[in-house]
Structure 1
Amino acid sequence: MSRSNAVIVHEDADVLADAVASRLINRLADAQASRGEASIVLTGGRIAAKVYVNILGSSIRGVVDWSKVDFWWGDERFLPSGDPERNETQAREAFLDHLPVDPARVHPMAAADAVGTPEEAAARYEAELAAAAGGAGVPAFDLLLLGIGEDGHVASLFPGNPALDAEGAAVGVHDSPKPPPERVSLTLGALNTATAAWIIASGDGKAEAVDEALEKRELPAGRVEAQGHTRWLIDKAAAARLKHLEL
């Protein structure tokens, strides 16, 4: 399968969120037309929350059979179930709890009140991924959504953190530079099995990280390379340092 990369710039955060929501719905619909089902890896963050709200409000959301979509997460904060800072909580409140999803197809990472350590949560998630994949590895991810931090991190893979070089499918993360310090994340290898990866970024606070990740490919975000295509879906503020683009 050939690989391609592209940067697509939208006017502002609202336009970006609306465009990503529409693209996402069509991506899942196309996967279902091909395979009868679809699989997506969700992310957290402010712009992702906007995307999820726009999915719920979209006039075309009905083209997807939401009961035949598997929902995974790229990372999670190791906090108790229902904590408002968990990516799962954000996604459920924004759109999952309001769509006719199959609860058995929603795959959150284990919370801190269910297992004792991030490593236990990672091991449990790795086993769940392997089971969905038929016994080993990870299942087909039709779409991987990722945000990018101001330091260039994606999921909970931070520059210089040992988790960035972890093998397997999932890893416990300690000493995160952003609170909370303990997290769970898919590994870079697992992220890169996705058919399509979309890195979404909004605001001038992300501009330097976006530029460095695209130019040098050394930051975690720059090391994301999906099997089919990788798209950077950003707004003008986040693209401000990309001098080679005609904005």
Structure 2
Amino acid sequence: MAEATTEKRVVVRADPATLADSVARRFVQRLTKRPDGTGPVHVSLTGGSMGGAVLAAVREDARAADVDWSTVHFWWSDERFVAAGSTDRNDVQARAALLDHLDIPPGNIHAMGASDGTLDLDAAAEAYAAELARFGTADTPWPSFDVCFLGVGPDGHIASLFPDRPEILVTDRVTLPVRNSPKPPPDRITLTRPVINSSRRVWLVMTGADKASALGLALAGASYPSVPAAGAKGTKRTVFFVDEAAAGKVPPELIDPDY
């Protein structure tokens, strides 16, 4: 695939463990191939079982020792607004799987606010937008993510942008508070679709037969308000990394055997 393509493609691996290893290798390769002196690289992480599995596989990759982690900034596409130490939090999972094991400045890890902090949900969402703006570009009040990892729910949701809810339609905000989420816990913070879609590469990682329908709809161009995953796209590349169980409804011509 050419580097500049924005066409959605699918990479299939046999099972979740093999898939996590494959995505981790691809991610480490991206970080190690960057020329020196090109400035910081920004990465947006996701939660869920595969989000954690990919990060754990990065930790086990021997080439991770060659990455200059001091140049890498980690962010999250969404977070559960619960207590800071809760295992429900995406950042707690990511720290245990990878981040706590890296030689990385604490200031390079940009966690969203927690329910036991000093800010309420609305203020915590605004504070994250302000933090993103500190690393904004000439065009956007947020950094350009080199890679944005996303999980996809069986309902097609990404980050905390759920189907047929107002958050998926918002284009004039960087972050949003989410209340009464259809998936617990009810209170969350999420990036908006324009922020996600400004990423150079959007990598959606999903496994299991219960994701096959959502994947099929996303690839078929379903309405993004009803299937948010259908509206996720990177400016250079959009890749669905899936296992065989999730790939049951993928047209063969969309599967990339070489990526």
**TM-score bucket of the superposed structures, by smaller chain:** over 0.9
Does structure 2 conserve the Cα–Cα contact (< 8 Å) formed by 1:146 and 1:154? yes
In structure 2, the residue matched to 1:141 is 145
In structure 2, the residue matched to 1:152 is 156
Does structure 1 conserve the Cα–Cα contact (< 8 Å) formed by 2:8 and 2:238? yes
In structure 1, the residue matched to 2:235 is 227
Task: Give yes or no for the alignment of 1:63 onto 2:95.
Answer: no
Distance 1:236 1:118 in 2: 38
Q: Which moved more, 1:57-66 or 1:16-25?
A: 57-66
TM-score (norm 1): 0.94
Task: Give yes or no for the alignment of 1:125 onto 2:141.
Answer: no
Residue 177 of structure 2: SS of its match in structure 1? strand
Identity value in percent: 37
Distance 1:123 1:31 in 2: 32
Q: 1:199 aligns with which of 190, 204, 217?
A: 204
Letter of the 1:163 counterpart:
E
Shift of 1:67: 1.6
In structure 1, the residue matched to 2:249 is 241
Does structure 2 conserve the Cα–Cα contact (< 8 Å) formed by 1:2 and 1:228? yes
Q: Which moved more, 1:135-144 or 1:145-154?
A: 135-144
Question: What are the equivalent positions in structure 2 for 1:1-247 lying under 5 Å apart?
Answer: 3-31=6-34, 33=36, 35-133=38-136, 137-166=141-170, 167-218=172-223, 219-244=227-252
Letter of the 1:99 counterpart:
L
Deviations 1:113-171 (A, max 9, x none): 11443221110000011111168511121100000001000000000111111222111
Shift of 1:2: 5.0
Does structure 2 conserve the Cα–Cα contact (< 8 Å) formed by 1:25 and 1:61? yes
Residue 132 of structure 1: SS of its match in structure 2? coil
Shift of 1:4: 3.1
Aligned length: 247
Shift of 1:14: 0.8
Does structure 1 conserve the Cα–Cα contact (< 8 Å) formed by 2:113 and 2:119? no
Distance 2:153 2:63 in 1: 30
Q: What is the aligned-residue RMSD (CA, Å)?
A: 1.8
Q: Which runs of 5+ in 1 are unaligned?
A: none
Shift of 1:63: 2.2
Distance 1:213 1:23 in 2: 23
Distance 1:230 1:110 in 2: 29
Residue 97 of structure 1: SS of its match in structure 2? helix
Shift of 1:55: 0.7
Distance 1:24 1:118 in 2: 32
Letter of the 2:156 counterpart:
G
Distance 1:34 1:227 in 2: 23
Residue 220 of structure 2: SS of its match in structure 1? helix
Letter of the 2:180 counterpart:
D
Letter of the 1:236 counterpart:
E
